[in-house]
Amino acid sequence: MFGLDERLSLCASLVRSGVSVADIGTDHAYLPVWLALNGRIKSALACDVRIGPLDNAKSNIEKNGVGNIVKTVLSDGLDEIVSDDADDIIMAGMGGELIVKLIDRTEWLKCGDKNLILQPMTRAEVLRRYLCENGFAVKEEKACISLGKSYSVMLCSYDGIRRECSDEYSYIGELAKDGSYESKRYIYVINEKLKKKLRGCKEGTEDYTSLLQLIEKFDGYSRGVSEK
């Protein structure tokens, strides 16, 4: 049996036991195949917008003998699936802006019993802001390090409450709370990017001052971490 890397393992750990899963942007379908092999789910749809990745998914499903549990679907986002198909929806390894677009046009996700497991590769701050401002609650957020890179995974569901999103929250979400090395390392990496951004800001402006305040705060949260 194959293992998952830290990033996909963290996503898998947030899937509820015995549910139906949709893995959007599945590529090789490692995650749904692993969940099926480990008896963790009732069924899964491995969805991708491109034929090539879906072919990879199909051969991986066949190779592991889980075709009775995992089916492939050619779908742009969730367009070809319906609410009854999935309890837990995973979107991992795609950009934050794309994830926002796919959530926003799928009305049936706005239902309290659906769990979204989201792992943005880029622009996580855009995704967090969208979730806050559009009635999705982040119930849990965890960070991991995989092949030297830091990732965050969020477990969310819709509760209809629109929340204000501070700049701090948009960049680090719930991660300042848990104090784990992985979370501190994620904050450290984000802060390095903010420090670069600060160098392009004019000193004395409002933007400069608020960015500097954020950086000082994040320095505190990530004390003791170095990128290596």
Ligand X SMILES: C[S@@+](CC[C@H](N)C(=O)[O-])C[C@H]1O[C@@H](n2cnc3c(N)ncnc32)[C@H](O)[C@@H]1O
Q: Is 85 in the site for ligand X (CB under 6 A)?
A: no
Q: Is 73 in the site for ligand X (CB under 6 A)?
A: no
Q: Is 50 in the site for ligand X (CB under 6 A)?
A: yes
Q: Is 154 in the site for ligand X (CB under 6 A)?
A: no
Three-state SS at 52: helix
Q: Is 14 in the site for ligand X (CB under 6 A)?
A: no
Contacts of 78 (CB under 8 A, 6+ apart): 22, 24, 47, 89, 102, 106, 109
Site stretch for ligand X (CB under 6 A), options 41-49, 137-145, 174-182, 200-208:
41-49
In this complex, which beta carbon is closest to ligand X, that of residue 54 or of residue 175? 54
Give me the least distance between CB of 34 and ligand X, in Å please. Answer: 11
Backbone angles phi, psi at 126, to 5 degrees: -70, -40
The answer to whether residues 175 and 187 touch, using CB atoms and an 8 Å cutoff, is: yes
Give me the least distance between CB of 73 and ligand X, in Å please. Answer: 9
What is the sign of the dihedral through the CA atoms of 155, 158, 163 and 167?
positive
Q: Is 26 in the site for ligand X (CB under 6 A)?
A: yes
Q: Is 94 in the site for ligand X (CB under 6 A)?
A: yes
Q: Is 48 in the site for ligand X (CB under 6 A)?
A: yes
Q: Is 25 in the site for ligand X (CB under 6 A)?
A: yes
Distances in Å between the alpha carbon of 227 and those of 17, 40, 149, 214? 35, 34, 9, 19
Q: Is 32 in the site for ligand X (CB under 6 A)?
A: no
In this complex, which beta carbon is closest to ligand X, that of residue 89 or of residue 92? 92
Give me the least distance between CB of 21 and ligand X, in Å please. Answer: 12
Give me the least distance between CB of 27 and ligand X, in Å please. Answer: 3
CB atoms within 10 A of CB 90: 29
Exposed/middle/buried for residue 131 (C-beta within 10 Å: 0-12, 13-18, 19+)? buried
For residues 99 and 144, what is the distance between their CA atoms, to the nearest angstrom? 20
In this complex, which beta carbon is closest to ligand X, that of residue 155 or of residue 176? 155
Q: Is 77 in the site for ligand X (CB under 6 A)?
A: yes
Distances in Å between the alpha carbon of 95 and those of 82, 98, 127, 177, 221? 23, 5, 9, 24, 25
In this complex, which beta carbon is closest to ligand X, that of residue 26 or of residue 106? 26
Under the rule (CB under 6 A), what is the footprint of ligand X? 8, 24-27, 47-50, 53, 76-77, 92-94, 98
